[in-house]
């Protein structure tokens, strides 16, 4: 069935859907018969097994994919909401599940294929038996040399090399909580995460290849240790893997008594085995920090049992992973996608997972397709950003190579239908299904997607809620927005699921406040139905139940019911070549709810004036629509900024609303605030444009505007 639904909107106005995504509903694409035939989930009965009346018992099907030392007695404990406990009483070890059980059953099967960035270097195949040996020896080192045991935290700052999953799985073997920081991040960012997690050990690598160059990575370890120390956290030991054994790729000296080469130490642990520590299902497996916060870092704490069951289940049914597949997720293990869908999910299912060291377009745009051809990859997983990049550098490249994907994933952000179609027809050669997935670092695994053999694809839509996950869209008044209404709102998940993170490490109040307070129906309730999870993304649900994700809701200004993305408005303003910076803020308006005001600063040499204001206003109107036309454009000499350069939108929003700007003493340029206030407020007074006094709720909204 083809569906074509025009976006709704009154005459003369741009509709909400157009504003939000500029896309319209697309036609369905159906999976090829050959795919359906072999799919893990091809019997529609699976959809029945996960209906809401079967919740939470339906997740036994996921839990049964992993091996338990002791069975759980309670599937879901809701006694302390929203700190949900899954598979209570159960005990297991994640390392055993991802390594040992496959090494016992199929020791010579390839677990990991490592592809170095330099094409002159051969790829490396690591069997499950070999992986077991390496994980055991490194676990012995962690235990015997460092004295680590369950519950300790260890920070990893490693590139995309096989030593990274070995390190993660060795930690998991001991019950040590690993916290991998994206290898490309600075030492300072790593140091903040070390301090927050209380790690006394940092595990890193001397260097890695990126863009054809051997990058010095160890230098960042010294920065990280110093940054952590500034926050009161000492790092006792730094373990340094060497990219090429026996050769040191860094110019930074090793600190005596603190820094140790892993290959030197491993020789003392050769052949050692470490019994996997049987962990409670609720024991934390890892922390994954999210970026995007100038305040305290946010470490998402993921459990052992619930998380592992969830990523195994979604890998099996949504990634359609079979043990005989060669699966390549091109994400970085430093992100949740890499944890869930390079390491834990695929290895829990005993498949072969590919790890590629470098950038996808090195040395040219054909590289991913050469890798796929050479290794026989049949499942491919990447982000829209990478797809756009590959299309740009080599739109004709895929057809030059003889590879055949049965399944492809897109993850991380909405994908434009046009890009989706290139992915489908060129990369997938029209033979592969695509699953478009929506989820977040906090979620462990997919929340919205299509079951590839049973639910047709629709470009631009991620699909319905996944098995056992029941999304809903609420408006700001906590009213449910019905499917097919064409209205956008805040996408929430009505129920807990096993992959949901347990808390923000060390910040339980922030966890409750950020994710549950907004739509909680009764803070004293022990019923999960009263605790919808607030995802922070805006969405529209079509009549067929498919969701289109629109972006973060906390960056939206709601003008007369139309949700305008501040980023889109600011991007439109930046199209004006004279504009250096732009910030859009809401102003309370009794008729339209909120109206938009835009602040811009100009590049050197350009003068403010009415003509420039009109130019900015016109650019926004042209790019987005009349509804987004700002009420005022204020040209200011500079924006109030933090020392890291972040524009303090709450300060300018307060000025526009004649509200108290709060403490500005910590800004990099506090003197600019008075200058802007005088300029803006005197102009508003002169044209009788002073908003009424804000209510307490409105004041809170303005105060929080633009904050994390």
Partner 1 sequence: MGMTRQYVAGELSVLLARLQAVTTTETARRDAWSLRRAAETEPIPALGPVTVRALKLTEGLCWESLNRGDTVAFTRQAAVCAELHEFGVCAGLLKET
Which of residues 551, 586, 625, 640 is near partner 1 by CB under 8 A?
551
For 382, the token pair is 């990447």
Give yes or no for residue 185 binding partner 1 (CB under 8 A): yes
Only segment of 246-254, 335-343, 349-357, 366-374 that touches partner 1 (CB under 8 A) = 335-343
Output the smallest distance, CB 571 to partner 1, in A.
5
Whether 499 and 468 have beta carbons less than 8 Å apart is answered as no
Only segment of 45-53, 94-102, 312-320, 531-539 that touches partner 1 (CB under 8 A) = 531-539
Size of interface with partner 1, in residues (CB under 8 A): 60
Give which of 211, 175, 204, 3 is closest to 96, Cα–Cα: 175
Whether 21 and 460 have beta carbons less than 8 Å apart is answered as yes
Q: Which is nearer to partner 1, 422 or 658 (CB)?
A: 422
Distance CA 589, CA 253 (A): 61
Give yes or no for residue 336 binding partner 1 (CB under 8 A): yes
Distance CA 395, CA 366 (A): 9
For 334, the token pair is 């430093």
Which of residues 160, 189, 308, 435 is near partner 1 by CB under 8 A?
189
Give yes or no for residue 441 binding partner 1 (CB under 8 A): yes
Which of residues 56, 346, 366, 412 is near partner 1 by CB under 8 A?
412
HSE toward the beta carbon, residue 684, CA cutoff 13 A = 20
Q: Which is nearer to partner 1, 278 or 571 (CB)?
A: 571
Q: Which is nearer to partner 1, 532 or 551 (CB)?
A: 551
HSE toward the beta carbon, residue 666, CA cutoff 13 A = 9
Scanning the structure block, which residue is given the tokens 């200004």?
Answer: 557
Give yes or no for residue 647 binding partner 1 (CB under 8 A): yes
Give yes or no for residue 537 binding partner 1 (CB under 8 A): yes
Only segment of 12-20, 161-169, 199-207, 572-580 that touches partner 1 (CB under 8 A) = 572-580
Site for partner 1 in 46-85 (CB under 8 A): none
Distance CA 169, CA 344 (A): 9
Q: Which is nearer to partner 1, 56 or 187 (CB)?
A: 187
Give yes or no for residue 570 binding partner 1 (CB under 8 A): yes
CA distances (Å), origin 201, targets 152, 187, 236, 444, 518: 9, 14, 6, 25, 37
Only segment of 4-12, 135-143, 235-243, 575-583 that touches partner 1 (CB under 8 A) = 575-583
Give yes or no for residue 337 binding partner 1 (CB under 8 A): yes
What count of other Cβ atoms lies within 10 Å of the Cβ of residue 324?
A: 10
Site for partner 1 in 227-286 (CB under 8 A): none
Q: Which region, left, alpha or beta, applies to residue 640 given φ > 0 means left and ψ of -120 to 50 means alpha?
A: beta
Binding mask 377-406 for partner 1 (x = CB under 8 A): ------x-xx-xx--x--------------
Distance CA 26, CA 6 (A): 10
Q: Which is nearer to partner 1, 72 or 362 (CB)?
A: 362
Give which of 378, 370, 380 is closest to 342, Cα–Cα: 380
Give yes or no for residue 646 binding partner 1 (CB under 8 A): yes
Q: Which is nearer to partner 1, 544 or 581 (CB)?
A: 581
Binding mask 577-616 for partner 1 (x = CB under 8 A): ---xxx--------------------x-------------
HSE toward the beta carbon, residue 485, CA cutoff 13 A = 13
Binding mask 414-433 for partner 1 (x = CB under 8 A): x-------------------
Site for partner 1 in 275-314 (CB under 8 A): 290-294
Give yes or no for residue 188 binding partner 1 (CB under 8 A): yes
Give which of 277, 333, 354 is closest to 112, Cα–Cα: 354
Binding mask 88-127 for partner 1 (x = CB under 8 A): ----------------------------------------
Helix axes 610-623, 566-574, angle to 10 degrees: 130
What count of other Cβ atoms lies within 10 Å of the Cβ of residue 137?
A: 23
Distance CA 283, CA 219 (A): 33
Only segment of 106-114, 254-262, 566-574, 678-686 that touches partner 1 (CB under 8 A) = 566-574
What count of other Cβ atoms lies within 10 Å of the Cβ of residue 408?
A: 21
3-state secondary structure 72-131: CCEEEECCCCCCCEEEECCEECHHHHHHHHHHHHCCCCEEEEEECCCCCCCCEEEEHHHH
Give yes or no for residue 465 binding partner 1 (CB under 8 A): no
Q: Which is nearer to partner 1, 172 or 550 (CB)?
A: 550
DSSP, collapsed to helix, strand or coil, labels residue 174 as helix
Only segment of 46-54, 333-341, 344-352, 520-528 that touches partner 1 (CB under 8 A) = 333-341
Whether 481 and 63 have beta carbons less than 8 Å apart is answered as no
In DSSP terms, 587 is beta-bridged to 595
Give yes or no for residue 567 binding partner 1 (CB under 8 A): yes
Output the smallest distance, CB 504 to partner 1, in A.
11
Give which of 665, 606, 616 is closest to 640, Cα–Cα: 665
Q: Which is nearer to partner 1, 131 or 355 (CB)?
A: 355
Only segment of 44-52, 163-171, 260-268, 434-442 that touches partner 1 (CB under 8 A) = 434-442
What count of other Cβ atoms lies within 10 Å of the Cβ of residue 598?
A: 29
Distance CA 195, CA 72 (A): 34
Give yes or no for residue 536 binding partner 1 (CB under 8 A): yes
Buried-exposed string 62-76: b where 16+ CB fall within 10 A, e elsewhere: bbebbebeeebeebb
Only segment of 125-133, 145-153, 451-459, 534-542 that touches partner 1 (CB under 8 A) = 534-542
CA distances (Å), origin 598, targets 296, 557, 618, 701: 29, 12, 12, 17
Give yes or no for residue 644 binding partner 1 (CB under 8 A): yes
Give yes or no for residue 515 binding partner 1 (CB under 8 A): yes
Give the contacts of 46 (CB within 8 A, at least 6 positions apart).
Answer: 317, 451, 454, 467
Give yes or no for residue 575 binding partner 1 (CB under 8 A): yes
Site for partner 1 in 442-461 (CB under 8 A): 442
Q: Which residues bind partner 1 (CB under 8 A)?
A: 182, 184-186, 188-189, 210, 290-294, 331-332, 334-337, 383, 385-386, 388-389, 392, 411-414, 438-442, 514-515, 535-537, 549, 551-552, 555, 565-567, 570-571, 574-575, 580-582, 603, 643-647, 706, 708
């Amino acid at each position: 069935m083809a569906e074509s639904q025009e976006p709704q909107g009154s005459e003369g106005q741009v509709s909400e859907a157009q504003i939000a995504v500029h896309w319209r509903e697309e036609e369905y694409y159906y999976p090829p018969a050959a795919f359906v035939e072999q799919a893990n989930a091809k019997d529609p009965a699976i959809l029945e097994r996960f209906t809401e009346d079967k919740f939470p018992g339906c997740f036994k099907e996921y839990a049964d994919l992993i091996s338990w030392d002791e069975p759980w007695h309670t599937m879901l404990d809701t006694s302390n909401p929203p700190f949900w406990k899954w598979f209570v009483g159960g005990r297991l070890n994640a390392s055993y599940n991802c390594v040992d059980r496959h090494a016992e059953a199929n020791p010579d099967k390839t677990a990991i294929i490592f592809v170095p960035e330099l094409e002159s270097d051969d790829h490396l195949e690591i069997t499950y038996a070999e992986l077991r040996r390496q994980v055991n020896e490194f676990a012995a080192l962690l235990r015997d040399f460092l004295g680590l045991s369950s519950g300790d935290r260890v920070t990893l700052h490693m590139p995309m090399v096989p030593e990274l999953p070995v390190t993660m799985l060795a930690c998991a073997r001991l019950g040590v909580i690993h916290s991998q920081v994206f290898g490309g991040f600075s030492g300072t960012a790593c140091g903040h995460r070390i301090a927050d997690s209380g790690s006394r050990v940092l595990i890193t690598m001397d260097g890695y290849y990126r863009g054809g160059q051997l990058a010095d990575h160890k230098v960042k370890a010294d920065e990280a240790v110093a940054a952590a120390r500034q926050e009161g956290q000492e790092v006792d030991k730094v373990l340094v893997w060497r990219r090429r054994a026996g050769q040191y790729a860094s110019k930074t000296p090793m600190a005596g008594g603190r820094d140790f080469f892993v290959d030197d130490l491993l020789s003392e642990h050769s052949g050692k085995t470490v019994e996997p520590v049987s962990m409670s299902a609720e024991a934390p497996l890892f922390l994954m920090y999210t970026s995007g916060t100038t305040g305290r870092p946010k470490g998402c704490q993921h459990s052992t049992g619930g998380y592992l069951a969830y990523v195994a289940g979604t890998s099996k049914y949504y990634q359609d992973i079979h043990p005989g597949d060669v699966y390549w997720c091109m994400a970085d293990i430093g992100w949740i996608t890499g944890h869930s869908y390079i390491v834990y999910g695929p290895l829990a299912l005993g498949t072969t997972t590919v790890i590629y060291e470098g950038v996808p377009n090195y040395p040219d745009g054909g590289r991913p397709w050469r890798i796929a051809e050479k290794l026989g990859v049949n499942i491919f997983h990447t982000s829209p950003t990478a797809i756009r990049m590959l299309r740009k550098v080599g739109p004709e490249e895929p057809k030059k190579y003889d590879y055949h994907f049965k399944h492809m994933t897109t993850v991380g952000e909405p994908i434009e239908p046009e890009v989706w179609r290139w992915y489908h027809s060129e990369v997938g050669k029209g033979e592969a299904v695509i699953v478009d997935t929506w989820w977040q670092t906090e979620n462990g695994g997919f929340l919205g997607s299509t079951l590839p053999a049973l639910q047709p694809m629709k470009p631009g839509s991620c699909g319905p809620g996944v098995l056992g996950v029941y999304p809903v869209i609420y408006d700001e008044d906590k009213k449910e927005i019905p499917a097919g209404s064409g209205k956008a709102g805040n996408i929430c998940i009505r129920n807990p699921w096993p992959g949901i993170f347990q808390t923000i490490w060390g910040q339980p109040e922030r966890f409750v406040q950020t994710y549950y307070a907004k739509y909680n129906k009764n803070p004293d309730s022990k019923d999960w139905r009263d605790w919808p999870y607030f995802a922070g993304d805006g969405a529209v649900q079509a009549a067929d139940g498919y969701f289109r994700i629109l972006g973060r809701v906390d960056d939206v200004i709601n003008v007369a019911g139309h949700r305008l993305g501040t980023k889109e408005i600011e991007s439109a303003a930046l199209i004006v070549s004279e504009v250096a910076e732009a910030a859009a803020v809401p102003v309370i308006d009794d008729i339209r709810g909120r109206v938009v005001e835009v602040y811009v600063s100009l590049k050197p040499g350009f003068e403010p004036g009415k003509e420039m204001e009109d130019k900015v206003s016109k650019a926004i109107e042209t790019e987005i629509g009349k509804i987004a036309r700002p009420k005022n454009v204020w040209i200011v000499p500079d924006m109030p900024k933090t020392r890291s350069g972040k524009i303090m939108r709450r300060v300018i929003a307060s000025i526009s609303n004649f509200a108290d700007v709060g403490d500005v003493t910590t800004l990099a340029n506090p003197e600019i605030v008075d200058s802007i206030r005088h300029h803006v407020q005197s102009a508003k007074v002169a044209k009788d444009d002073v908003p009424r006094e804000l209510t307490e709720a409105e004041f809170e909204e303005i105060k929080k505007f633009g904050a994390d």
